[in-house]
Structure 1
Amino acid sequence: MTAELKKETLGFQTEAKQLLHLMIHSLYSNKEIFLRELISNASDAIDKLRFAALADESLLEGQADYAVQVDVDKEARTITITDNGIGMTREEVIENLGTIAKSGTAAFLNNLTGDQKKDSQLIGQFGVGFYSGFIVAERVEVHTRKAGEAADTGVLWESHGESEFSIEERPRESRGTSVTLYLKSDCAEFADDWRVRSVIKKYSDHISVPVKMLKPATPATDADADDKEAEQPEAEPQYEAVNEATALWTRPRSEITDEEYKAFYQHVSHDFEEPLIWSHNKVEGKQEYTSLLYIPKRAPFDLWNRDMARGLKLYVQRTFIMDEAEQFLPLYLRFVKGVVDSNDLPLNVSREILQKDSSVDAMRSALTKRVLDMLAKLAKKGGDDYATFWKEFGQVLKEGPAEDFGNKEKIAGLLRFATTHTDKPDQDQSLQDYVARMQEGQDKIYYVVAENFNTARKSPHLEVFRKKGIEVLLLSDRVDDWLMNQLQEFDGKPLQDVARGALDLEDDSEQAKAEKEKLKQDSEALVERLAKVLDDKVAEVRPSLRLTESPACLVVGEHDMGAQMRRILEAAGQPVPPGKPILEINPGHPLLQMLDAEADESRFADLAHVVLDQATLAEGGQLEDPASFVSRLNALLLQLSKS
């Protein structure tokens, strides 16, 4: 009665209810993965206790033989997964099983399509392993007790996977957690011993703790009958390990199949999909460690949260230390999953020690190069895999040149761009591709930065480049302006923004110099009039060598901040350094010729502002005063209609 008084019924967090519904309906075609997820959670709980017990051995409660136990009851139609790991308190049960306190939940729900296959992949990206139990169960019970706490602090959690769950005190003698699934009638196969054994072998061979099940009963013999007649005491149930129970990364590569590598990735990442590529490496000599690194196929929803939990699982001498050891890879490689097992670090290593340890720096450098080599191998292989990687993680990789100067050239070789060579939005051209196509005598890599691909492709700054057949990179990701400022060159060739500074495409012949001087003299009066009218808007007005079709364009000063970076800072509410653009005009354009011939200074001023506003719009910029632009344009159109 006392326990009943302390029973409480609570509602699921809204997002959790939606995810439960999706889990049940979207993943039903792959029901058996629930067992992989629950065994993986049990293994993680044991790893956490191992680590906690390094500092406090009393948490083991005199029992240090770790194992996950799986029991089935065909008559009751149940399956129970039990671990002797860290366990949970009442508060932890509510937090972990009643809410999904993970950034990106809203983004996850917004990306759902209604297509079961696609949505199941999204669920896999999001990582909601425990809830997979409701794929096969009409009711789930979780009985748990935190290691080191008294037996009467045990907690029983129960839910039918709908809108609410109940929680109550329930004494538990042993530490750890038991998850009991009351199976749906059409999922009774998972109460069958041999069916469950086959799933464990398929998904959990690589887990370093034994996953045990009752030994199959042997046929009775006459001797057994005699024993029963002699009323022998009933023997303890005999359990046997179903899996190999050997940490996969400790085994020789030649003995591990691709299927085992893929299964281990899904265990370590809680991803439902297979990885794109992996690298298993053992280092011996001055330093000794083993690493197993994976590149995922899909980006997690919190990829853009730079404070997200990230990093490799760290083991020291095969003992689990921490889940997210971020010190072993730079931030721009935060999507990499895997484990690193060191023989050189102390067992009581902490995050603070990792930050100061010189051997960690050496491992970080080596592991970073290994990941970059993996990506280079993936890119060299061709096919769709690198395109998949780039689509998911390309913008994160673009953070690399600023964060990792030592590997800047390697990272640059992995970058992909859209260019005028294809005029398609696909970012599938490398800098190596560009250099191989450079014209004879061309000594720079040219690029244009804009708000989106179409604005970049149609930029007036490209007109002279198209005329001369010179390829230009078309950049439209938010990080691109910043990236190019950090990268600056590739293969010894400087990167040049076509909208920055003076253009150097003109030839040095005497004829070209004479034509340039004539252009300057012929437009001098118009340039002076425009500069006077637009003095508060632009730093300078000058005749353009880059325009062949457009009347005008805006150019950034050689050392000024680019327009895209300005827009990003302004949107973020950050201070923007003062600066005005340069207006370049095409004196041969009919609009500029009409402007030059305009005697009415008021009308000239209106036309001058229209030309400036058009140049601003052409580069994807925002007008300071759109209403005035519309008013001037309407007035000019009315005047033209009367003439």
Structure 2
Amino acid sequence: MSTETQKETLGFQTEVKQLLNLMIHSLYSNKEIFLRELISNASDAAEKLRFKALSNGALYENDGDLKVTVSFDPEAKTVTIEDNGVGMSRDDVVEHLGTIAKSGTASFLGQLTGDQAQDNQLIGQFGVGFYSAFIVAEKVDVFSRAAGAPVSEGVHWSSAGEGEFSIATIDKETRGTQIVLHLKEGEEEFADGSRLRTLVRKYSDHIAMPVMMLKEAPLGMEEESEEPVEGEEAKAAKEPKEVAAPELETVNSATALWTLNKSDISEEEYSEFYKHISHDFGNPLTVGHNRVEGNLEYTSLLYVPETAPYDLWNRDAPRGLKLYIQRVFVMDQADQFLPLYLRFIKGVVDSNNLSLNVSREILQKDPNVDKLRTALTKRVLDMLTKLAKNEPEKYVTFWKSFGSVMKEGPAEDYTNREKIMKLLRFASTHTDSSEPTTSLDDYIGRMKEGQTKIYYVVAENYNTAKNSPHLEIFRKKGIEVLLMTERVDEWMMSHLFDYDGKSLQNVTKGELELGETETEEDKKAQEEAAKEAEGLVERLKERLKEKVSDVRVTHRLTESPACLVLNAYDMGAQMRQIMEAAGQAVPDSKPVFEINAEHPLIQKLDQEPDEDRFGELALIIFDQADLAAGGHLADPAAYVTRLNKLLLELSQ
């Protein structure tokens, strides 16, 4: 390297400072993963050069033998990872090594607790990448030059990971990137050939790029003979000899994992490759490896993670599969091959039916992309169906991590709506647990004789749903109701109308139909109750006309005096609250006020002769019904005033 020029010192992005601090102080139990991360980055850089060189062979600079080289120096206490890949310009280095170019970083860092076990899990979701070098290094030097750039445009980046870094322009003869780790005191174990070879084989064995190290001399061949030599042998020994170039050997298998037969791949090898492409610490929940031949030829290696990434809810976050075409790397985050609700899937797709001369724009116009998307989506849903059937405990883990995202599916993917609905899980009145473990098939299997509908309630939280007055008649008759409490639920259910021949009904909307579970005796009692309460209903309609669209006698209630029921096509309370909180206009609508004519409070109300007092009591019961349904009172102060007035009257 020549003399440095244009040297300057810059500060890290705030988020990088926080992440580096965490790296340096918290990840002692996972420190060896630095090698996996740096080799992964180096491999990606080489793959990217191979793709770029398809249209510009000069980028190879007469060196098309792509590889990653790992070396070490025990005396200097350094470990070096080098690639002859695409390399970086000065601007690239500042952008990629001085900032974390991922949206949502601040929210991720806000979740860090200082608890090392928990934080390790979060970092696994985040992907540590280049910054993992500082787990074992007190200083890191990076030397890089972009492929095709002049020798004089090399870059030297250096930092001790303490808030700033220096960057300078240098001469660099070879393209690509060299990272030199100056090991911390106590981390000398990594400046050892045997240790590094073990880690390469453990973490990076089945990446497609060869990882090279100096070939070790056979045991017993390291020392020179100390026996005296005479005559011609002594003369020959004194003559200068050519020094042989260091001999490199490939440490890993350097065979793309997805190209091997499934029977030749161990579970551990699948897991380590997953960590390579996902930068996750944990193992995947399940893996699907398939080779398809015919009109559409492709190989897919798909993984379902165990833990959700920190930016799962950012629908604009980078996502997608690694795309290879005829084993040539093309794109790192190809998001065209899976729908958005499956954005958590990691993996590789290698196709023979796409042109190597592709870009994101060309991919969008290629009909084979749609075929691949259809096939891969079906493959993932089949993987999840198999997981739910054969390993239900693992599926519970999956649902906790990704269930909310899967609920986006029915609206986004109508073709696979039935498959997705089969995978949905909900809490239910069948159990006392708030855990969403009930499937629609489970529900149907427990339906009462004569029941034709799948009943559900949407509420703000589990307790509100479980204790909703709308469920009283269902408890009395032993009819199961699904309890939905996530923000996405009401929106999802607006796109679902039936499943397996059974219609879905929100118990808080429209006329309640219980089918054949209602006897003729039940219906006759309802008619008589409605007839007897006609006068009360008319009085309530007049008093509450500004608040309700109708008043009627209910058959939903057995314990509560009243409840509010939405019209069949009205927006639910949960969705209304979400839209209002987002500043969105919501359509004006009024609920139906249903009264339990047999309840003592309603009977007492019916007997109240004073119309003013009748009106006050009616408003109190109306507001109570609103609160019981999880609503938010428009005028809480007025409700409190009326209630206090009533309490004072009762105490006199």
Give the shorter-chain TM-score range.
Answer: over 0.9
- Contact kept, 8 Å, 1:3 with 1:168, in 2: the verdict is no
Alpha-carbon distance in structure 1 between the residues aligned to 2:443 and 2:527: 33
- Mark the runs of 5 or more structure 1 residues left unpaired by the alignment: none
Q: 1:506 to 1:549 in 2, by over 3 A?
A: farther
**3-state SS, counterpart of residue 97 of structure 1:** helix
* 1:98-129 deviation per Cα after TM superposition (whole angstroms, max 9, x unaligned): 12232232332232233212211111110122
- Show the counterpart of 2:60: 60
- Show the counterpart of 2:627: 617
User: What is the one-letter code of the residue matched to 1:438?
Assistant: M
What's the RMSD between the two structures over aligned residues? 1.8
Alpha-carbon distance in structure 2 between the residues aligned to 1:273 and 1:109: 19
Whether 1:519 aligns to 2:563 is no
Q: Which segment drifts farther, 20-29 or 336-345?
A: 20-29
Q: 1:167 to 1:441 in 2, by over 3 A?
A: same
**3-state SS, counterpart of residue 477 of structure 1:** coil
1:422-441 map, 5 Å: 422-441=431-450
Alpha-carbon distance in structure 1 between the residues aligned to 2:645 and 2:234: 109
Q: Which segment drifts farther, 273-282 or 529-538?
A: 529-538
- Show the counterpart of 2:239: 230
Q: 4+ residue runs of structure 1 moved beyond 4 angstroms?
A: 2-5, 220-228, 506-510
* 1:201-253 deviation per Cα after TM superposition (whole angstroms, max 9, x unaligned): 11111111111111113526679998763212222221111111111111111
Alpha-carbon distance in structure 2 between the residues aligned to 1:478 and 1:320: 39
- Show the counterpart of 1:607: 617
Whether 1:329 aligns to 2:338 is yes
- Show the counterpart of 2:324: 315
**3-state SS, counterpart of residue 327 of structure 1:** coil
Report the TM-score when normalising by structure 2.
0.95
How many aligned positions are there? 642
- Show the counterpart of 2:568: 558
- Show the counterpart of 1:451: 460
Shift, 1:638, TM fit: 1.3
* 1:328-351 deviation per Cα after TM superposition (whole angstroms, max 9, x unaligned): 111111100000000111101221
- Show the counterpart of 1:27: 27
Alpha-carbon distance in structure 1 between the residues aligned to 2:64 and 2:256: 18
- Show the counterpart of 1:531: 541
Alpha-carbon distance in structure 2 between the residues aligned to 1:153 and 1:482: 54
**3-state SS, counterpart of residue 495 of structure 2:** helix
User: What is the one-letter code of the residue matched to 1:559?
Assistant: Y
User: What is the one-letter code of the residue matched to 2:638?
Assistant: S
Shift, 1:368, TM fit: 0.8
Alpha-carbon distance in structure 1 between the residues aligned to 2:145 and 2:520: 88
Alpha-carbon distance in structure 1 between the residues aligned to 2:161 and 2:277: 26
Whether 1:464 aligns to 2:436 is no
Alpha-carbon distance in structure 1 between the residues aligned to 2:335 and 2:411: 18
1:153-232 map, 5 Å: 153-217=153-217, 219=221, 229-232=238-241
User: What is the one-letter code of the residue matched to 1:463?
Assistant: E
Q: Which residue of 551, 571, 579 maps to 2:589?
A: 579
User: What is the one-letter code of the residue matched to 1:348?
Assistant: N
Whether 1:592 aligns to 2:592 is no
Q: Which segment drifts farther, 47-56 or 360-369?
A: 47-56
**3-state SS, counterpart of residue 569 of structure 1:** helix
- Contact kept, 8 Å, 1:423 with 1:457, in 2: the verdict is no
- Show the counterpart of 1:405: 414
- Percent of aligned positions that are identical: 62
Alpha-carbon distance in structure 2 between the residues aligned to 1:226 and 1:367: 71
- Contact kept, 8 Å, 2:548 with 2:592, in 1: the verdict is yes
- Show the counterpart of 1:70: 70
User: What is the one-letter code of the residue matched to 1:39?
Assistant: I
- Contact kept, 8 Å, 1:103 with 1:301, in 2: the verdict is no
User: What is the one-letter code of the residue matched to 2:89?
Assistant: T
- Contact kept, 8 Å, 2:5 with 2:170, in 1: the verdict is no
**3-state SS, counterpart of residue 8 of structure 1:** strand
Report the TM-score when normalising by structure 1.
0.97
Alpha-carbon distance in structure 2 between the residues aligned to 1:227 and 1:63: 37
Alpha-carbon distance in structure 1 between the residues aligned to 2:363 and 2:98: 34
Alpha-carbon distance in structure 1 between the residues aligned to 2:614 and 2:165: 74
User: What is the one-letter code of the residue matched to 1:58?
Assistant: A
- Contact kept, 8 Å, 1:446 with 1:495, in 2: the verdict is yes
Alpha-carbon distance in structure 2 between the residues aligned to 1:387 and 1:513: 41
**3-state SS, counterpart of residue 54 of structure 2:** helix
Alpha-carbon distance in structure 2 between the residues aligned to 1:226 and 1:45: 50
Q: 1:203 to 1:506 in 2, by over 3 A?
A: closer
- Show the counterpart of 2:509: 500
- Show the counterpart of 2:381: 372
Q: 1:532 to 1:3 in 2, by over 3 A?
A: farther
Shift, 1:185, TM fit: 2.2
Shift, 1:440, TM fit: 0.9
Q: Which segment drifts farther, 90-99 or 278-287?
A: 90-99
